[in-house]
Amino acid sequence: METKVAQASRPVDTMTGPDIKTALPGPRAKALIERDRSVVSPSYTRCYPLVIERGSGAFVEDVDGNIFLDCAAGIAVNSTGHSHPAVVTAITDQAQKFLHMSGTDFYYEPQVRLAEEMAAIAPISGGVRTFFGNSGTEVVEACVKLARYTTGRQNIIAFLGGFHGRTMGSLALTASKAVQRRGFGPLMPGVYHAPYADCYRCPLGLNPETCAAECLGFIDDQLFAHLVTPDEVAAIVVEPIQGEGGYVVAPEQFLQRLRELTQKHGILLVADEVQSGMGRSGKMFAIEYCGVEPDAMSIAKGIASGMPLGVAVARAGLMAWPPGAHASTFGGNPVSCAAALATIKLLRDRLVANAAEVGGHLMNGLRELADRHRLIGDVRGRGLMIGVELVRDRTTKERATDERDKVVDAAFRRGLLLLGAGKNAVRFSPPLVLTREQADVAVRIFDEALAEVERAR
């Protein structure tokens, strides 16, 4: 028997492109935004007034019947597209059996099966154990706690521009936008930040083709020399591709050298793949591009196609804390685990390969736009995790922050959902079901949006 959701989704499925019928926001959207304004936390950053009614595949319909092509995917979460029938079926089947039993106190198969799957897909050899949470921030904190616990060391090194979450522990690692930290101090002590390898803006003026990740010298020459000795550092936490920081891709040698450095000093290497993981990069995990095995990883967002779930995976020998040391009531909820199992099957069968293939196509389309649009300073990324950095001047690389916001808004008015990342980049993080044709539509609308903003300058 078909579920209601699958039936309701069908009309959106048949769409080939956006269809905007009302001024945005439309009347129903306006009314809901008005209600939201007085009762929902004003700390949320809503960059345009989208009020979703339902979604299917790479399309979203709003409450006024407008159809959008979604290249934001709920901040890189809807990996298998909106309400993929196989995921919906897995969720409803599990929901009919039981909704919750707390995997921290009892046992159930979906949680064990998911831990087995994580051991199969995590790029860590020799056995892997999984800790279950509900979000990215929780599993970053789980990695930090595990690192402190197992090494007996207190300090953590993270990177400028990095985003690791907003609860008090992970917020101390987050160094993306100052407003995210402002007013919340003192944060967890013992966190040091080093420069990330932003090759488009290399402060050392080096060429990524020939450089040996000289920026990492900062850790040896500055941090270890002046602030903290390596034997007191528990972990280095790094995003293989910085997400919120602007979709900045670390060159392979950066992560390889980081691995050497951590190994030399007995420091754990934690890859935060909350955004870059689960196929988005065109490989299951972005760190696989450089052949580096981390000691632990934080994974969330795309893992369960939109159901709340985060996992921390670590080398089995490392995750050896005793009962009671760490747990979460809701972590590894059975419905979320069922959604994750269905998601992983879809990713393995086709969608990781699709992310690589369609991502390459989208990247080429966006790079071609750079010939026509002086606003485009850099197009970078892997798979369907692509950032376009906008600049006012290609020589000075002055950041085009206002223009970026206007481009995202102009794309929205034309029916393309995008999000900003960092100070002046636009991110393309569509569902991994995106087709080449849909990618072409996204490029066409982005082209028009850029042209509109350039005309108005």
Ligand X SMILES: Cc1ncc(COP(=O)(O)O)c(C=O)c1O
Residue 267 CB, nearest approach to ligand X (Å): 20
- Tell me if 137 contacts ligand X by CB under 6 A: yes
Buried b or exposed e, range 8-40, using 16+ CB within 10 angstroms: ebeebeebebbebeeebbbeebbeeeeeeeeee
Q: Which of 233, 300, 351, 408 binds ligand X (CB under 6 A)?
A: 300
Residue 170 CB, nearest approach to ligand X (Å): 7
Q: What is the dihedral of CA 23, 27, 32, 35, to 10 degrees?
A: 110
Q: Interface with ligand X by CB under 6 A: which range of 114-122, 130-138, 218-226, 337-345?
A: 130-138
Which 259-278 residues touch ligand X, going by CB under 6 A? 272, 274-275
Q: Interface with ligand X by CB under 6 A: which range of 25-33, 119-127, 135-143, 278-286?
A: 135-143
Q: Interface with ligand X by CB under 6 A: which range of 150-158, 159-167, 211-219, 263-271?
A: 159-167
Residue whose CB is less far from ligand X, 144 or 369: 144
- Tell me if 78 contacts ligand X by CB under 6 A: no
| CA within 13 Å, CB half, 92 | 13
Residue 138 CB, nearest approach to ligand X (Å): 7
Q: Residue 48 contacts by C-beta under 8 Å, 6 or more apart in sequence?
A: 24, 408, 409, 412
Residue whose CB is less far from ligand X, 230 or 308: 308
Name the closest residue to ligand X (Cβ): 136
The CA-to-CA distance between both ends of the chain, in Å, stands at 55
**Strand partners for 128:** 315
Q: How far apart are CA 6 and CA 263, in angstroms?
A: 49
Residue 28 CB, nearest approach to ligand X (Å): 28
Residue whose CB is less far from ligand X, 118 or 375: 118
DSSP structure string for 40-58: S-TTS--SS---EEEEEBT
Structure tokens at 337: 């685990």
R_g (Cα) of the chain, nearest Å: 22
- For Cα atoms 355, 359, 365, give the angle at the middle one, nearest 5 degrees: 160
Residue whose CB is less far from ligand X, 332 or 365: 332
Q: How far apart are CA 78 and CA 302, in angstroms?
A: 6
Structure tokens at 151: 């090494």
Residue 221 CB, nearest approach to ligand X (Å): 27
Q: Which of 55, 81, 165, 377 binds ligand X (CB under 6 A)?
A: 165
- Tell me if 136 contacts ligand X by CB under 6 A: yes
Binding mask 333-372 for ligand X (x = CB under 6 A): ----------------------------------------
Cβ atoms of 397 and 376 within 8 Å: the answer is no
Which 240-259 residues touch ligand X, going by CB under 6 A? 243-244
Residue whose CB is less far from ligand X, 62 or 244: 244
Q: By the criterion CB under 6 A, which residues form the site for ligand X?
A: 135-137, 140, 163-165, 239, 243-244, 272, 274-275, 300
